[in-house]
Amino acid sequence: MALQARRDMSTGRSSWGSKGGFLLAAISLSTFLVWVSCWLICSRDIRHGIERASVVFMPVLFLLTIIMVLWSVSLDGVPGTPS
């Protein structure tokens, strides 16, 4: 079933607003990229697919975690930091 925005009966406008098309395109592209990467990893043998992917993706996951922690600490309103 395709994603469809709910329409307001009085105005006929989408509930997603003007960015609804962009949101749908971003979700579709992300879903497609994840599907392709999963297919490529699973189509290979364990040693060549999952093992190599984990060697690459585990450091990337660790790096993204560090970046998110540093970003969240730098936000305004974090308890324990001066305003």
Express each pLDDT in 31-70 by its tens digit. Answer: 999 999 888 888 887 778 888 888 888 999 999 999 999 9
Is residue 1 pLDDT above 50, yes or no? no
**Range of 33's domain?**
19-73
pTM given for the model: 0.46
Q: Is residue 56 part of a domain?
A: yes
β-strand partners of 7:
14
Which comes out higher in pLDDT, residue 12 or 68? 68
In a domain, 49, yes or no: yes
CA distances (Å), origin 13, targets 2, 5, 9, 62:
18, 9, 8, 42
Based on the structure, what is the number of domains in the chain?
1
Q: Please say if the pLDDT value at position 5 is more than 70.
A: no
Residue 82 maps to a domain = no
30 vs 28: CA distance, rounded Å: 6
Here the tokens at position 73 are 């600490």
10 lies in some domain: no
Query: What type of residue is 18?
Result: S
Residue 25 lies in a domain: yes
